[in-house]
Every structure is written in structure tokens, then in C-alpha cells.
Amino acid sequence: MSPFTGSAIRTERWRHLRLTVDDGVATITLDRPDKLNALTFGAYADLRDLLAELSRERSVRALVLGGEGRGFCSGGDVDEIIGATLAMDTAQLLDFNRMTGQTVRALRECPFPVIAAVHGVAAGAGAVLALAADFRVADPTARFAFLFTRVGLSGGDMGAAYLLPRVVGLGHATRLLMLGDPVGAAEAERIGLISELTEAGDAGIRAAALARRLAEGPALAYAQTKALLTAELDMPLAASVELDASTQALLMHGEDYAEFHAAFTEKRPAKWQGR
């Protein structure tokens, strides 16, 4: 995302999310514990816009996305979204569905790694938000469910039919998106849906530790790795290796590349600047 902005000022308060930033690590917490962090129109929009702001500011080097209370996110609020959409016309429904997709794109396109800290339920849109993260750190209570067909909609919602086969393979993705059955933490680890399975109650701690490790590393290298992983999903090999070559040539002019050589020569830890 471009760092350039016009007249818009920085948002001082987010009504539908909780944000903290500590030395380059941002933590976004879905904060409706009484509703299992069910998403509203405002929550989607806040998450989309917040990711855009953090991307422009370039002060965040890693982000943890988690949920308050008993679970990560139970998906769209049945009354505030599903009930409301029944009264919308086609143009309004298209606007809403595009917004949810923009939120997923923001997670994939932001120039810093995103770690989903998953405990309890991650269902429907909540499962897709976790899927869109770069890492999914989960404890044994985690269970994922792509419930869209259960409500009479396509399982390919919010980019799920694009992302999920690339994470777990077409066979597993077909089963999960068609049937909408829940997947527990052990099976999610087996099929590659989660990056790390933690001890009970430790998902947030381990996600924060991973975010700190990433924040202290070569941020520009991580940003370009994330960008290439996304861009090259649909590229032929020849285009991919050419994009890799161009990216490496640019990074070889960076301060971090020179810093690695200096640190190696002087037998000291590298001091990464993200430049």
C-alpha cells in the first residue's frame, strides 16, 4: 500500500476494534466477547481502514490479530449483518461483499507480517480472517469452520476459495468449504491450516513472541517476501524468477544487506533498520 495520503488525518479512536502498538508491534483485538467477537459492518470497515493507515505510516513491523474472551471470532453477526442484508438491494449487497473482500486484501497486502492468535472458535468470516494472516498460532481449543454453505451461500466467500487451497490443498479445501464442518486444532495442524500449535492458553503469548521476533528482523526483506508470496501464486515460473531477480537487485542496494556484511565481518549481531 502506498505511504502517500491526501487530506485525511490519522484516526485517533477506533470504535469497533482495540489497538495497541508497542515498539513496532501492533495488536488488534476483536472486542465483542459477549458475542464471540461477531463482526459488524463497522468492525469490517474499521479493520480495513486501520490496516490501510498502519501500512501508510510504516511504523509497524509486525501485527497480531486476536479476539477477546472465549474465542477468536464467530463470523458475521447473525442479526446485525445477516438479518440486515435480507433487506438490501443488489447494489448494497455488492458493496458489502466487496468491503469484506477488501478487508482480506488489506491483510494480504499490508507490508508487515500478520499473525492470527486463535483460541476457541474461528468460524465463517473469522476463519477467513485467520486464513488471510501470514501465520496462524493456535492453542488446543481452536476450531475452524468455514460455514458459508450452512447459511445457503457459496463457500468461496471473501477469497476463501483462492486462499484455502493454497494453504491446505484442493482436496482439504473442497471438504472444508463444501461441508462447513468444524476442524479442531489437531487436524488443523495436520493439514497445514495452522503454523504453530501451542499449549492451552498460550496462543496469544506465542503469537506476541513471534511478532517481536519479526519486528526485530529485516522488515523490508519480510515485506518483500510477503509481497512475492502473494504475487507469485498466479505467475508462471519465468515471470516469478524475473520478479525475484528484480526484487533482490533492489534489496542489494539496501542498508540491511550492507549491515549483514558488516555484522558478519565484525562478528556481531546485525542491527536491522528495515531499509
15-73 tens-digit pLDDT: 999 999 999 999 999 999 999 999 999 999 999 999 999 999 889 999 999 999 999 99
Residue 230 has a pLDDT of 92
Q: Which of 57-61, 162-166, 241-245 is the least confident region? A: 57-61
CA distances from 106 to 102, 158, 263 (A): 6, 12, 35
In the predicted model, is pLDDT for residue 189 greater than 80?
yes
CATH number of this structure's domain 18-216: 3.90.226.10
What is the average pLDDT across 145-150? Answer: 96
What confidence category does residue 2 fall into, taking pLDDT thresholds of 50, 70 and 90? low
According to DSSP, the β-strands at 183-184 and 143-145 are antiparallel
Q: What is d(CA 98, CA 109) in angstroms, rounded to the nearest whole number?
A: 16
CB atoms within 10 A of CB 2: 7
In the predicted model, is pLDDT for residue 10 greater than 90?
no
The position carrying cell 481452536 is 142
What is the average pLDDT across 207-211? Answer: 98
pTM comes to 0.94
Q: What is d(CA 68, CA 156) in angstroms, rounded to the nearest whole number?
A: 27
The answer to whether the beta carbons of residues 123 and 75 sit under 8 Å apart is: yes
Query: What are the extents of the domains in the chain?
Result: 18-216, 219-266
Cα 90 off chain centre by: 28
91-106 tens-digit pLDDT: 999 999 999 999 999 9
Helix (DSSP H) and strand (DSSP E) numbers for the chain: 11, 9
Residue 1 has a pLDDT of 61
Grid cell in block for residue 105: 486484501
Q: What is d(CA 231, CA 209) in angstroms, rounded to the nearest whole number?
A: 27
Grid cell in block for residue 175: 471438504
